[in-house]
Amino acid sequence: MVDVSAFHCDYENKWCPGCGNFPILEALKQGLADQGLVPEDVLMISGIGQAGKTPHFLRCNFFHGLHGRALPLATGAYVANCELPILVSMGDGDCYGEGGNHFLAAIRRNPDMTLLIHDNRVYGLTKGQASPTSERGFVTKIQPKGVRSDPFNPAALALSQGAGFVARAYCGHKEQLAGLIGQAMDYRGLSVIDIMQVCVSFNTVNTYDWYKKRVYDINEQGHDTDDWNAAMDLAMAGGDRMATGLFYKKNRASFADRVPGLADSPLAARRYDPAQVQALLDQA
């Protein structure tokens, strides 16, 4: 068993005190340690935003890319080494806004990686604009009369597009989240965990108290994770009860399973042959 402290990093953290990103970071360390992984065997890729800073505070290999572009970067790394444990950390604006099309493409390709979305329903890094998951009527400095669009439903969209692993978690339940991260990393294909996260500075509606009154664990109540219709009902349910846990799990061919060139061994493990490269260039 790897100790959680193996993933500690002393890089200065400037998240706001009480930020929901802190328990997500702790759950992530626990999930990685439970997998028996060591930092040098883990790759984390992120985009822009407070969630995108997560790998700064984690001892591992990481690449901090552009806004909304973490998933294509991660897919490229996966193609180069499809045996490397890859996690992607994004916020709701980063993944569902700027990166929305990449989110859809990743579900279709099904690369083997774990996608963690810190969903606080607001843009925190740029000080509080509405995000794709903000509720209609949510008031911000630049939406003083409230958001006029309906909110994006991440779990329902992922399910409707055929994602094989769809879960929802709450930042205040670290043990549940750590367990879900472990299950997600064991899954062969794209695993999506939408994490309801509290922003203590720019979202005074969806607070810790607000979530505590609403969240419950479906897996403790015997939810059948093979039942797509039941999963969709949970994803679509509104009101005062908010389901968390693993909604749906189904095996699908991963991207590596679909590409013959990736079947035998990772590209990164193969010998570089300049003569073959030159021959290909000569044919071009």
For residue 263, what pLDDT is reported? 82
Encoded tokens for 220: 């403790």
For helices 70-80 and 100-109, angle between their N-to-C axes, nearest 10 degrees = 30
For residue 2, what pLDDT is reported? 87
Structural Rg of the chain based on CA atoms:
19
Residue whose pair of structure tokens reads 């360390």 in the numeric block: 29
Tell me the pTM: 0.95
CA-to-CA distance for 86 and 75, rounded, in angstroms? 9
For residue 153, what pLDDT is reported? 97
| pLDDT tens string 206-222 | 999 999 999 999 998 89
CA-to-CA distance for 21 and 25, rounded, in angstroms? 6
Residue pLDDT tens, the chain, 284 long:
789 999 999 999 999 999 999 999 999 999 999 999 999 999 999 999 999 999 999 999 999 999 999 999 999 999 999 999 999 999 999 999 999 999 999 999 999 999 999 999 999 999 999 999 999 999 999 999 999 999 999 999 999 999 999 999 999 999 999 999 999 999 999 999 999 999 999 999 999 999 999 999 999 889 999 999 999 999 999 789 999 999 999 999 999 999 998 888 889 998 888 998 899 999 87
Note the maximum CA span of the chain.
Answer: 66
CA-to-CA distance for 186 and 12, rounded, in angstroms? 31
The conformational region for residue 196 under phi > 0 = left, psi -120 to 50 = alpha, else beta, is beta
For residue 21, what pLDDT is reported? 98
DSSP string, 20-52: THHHHHHHHHHHHHHTT--GGG-EEEE-SSTGG
Residue whose pair of structure tokens reads 């044919």 in the numeric block: 283
Residue whose pair of structure tokens reads 């021959």 in the numeric block: 279
Q: Which domains does the chain have, with CATH numbers?
A: 4-282 (3.40.50.970)
Would you give the DSSP letter of residue 244?
E
3-state secondary structure of 274: helix
Please report, for the chain, how many H helices and E strands are present, in that order.
Answer: 10, 10
HSE-CB at 1 with a 13 A cutoff on CA atoms is: 7
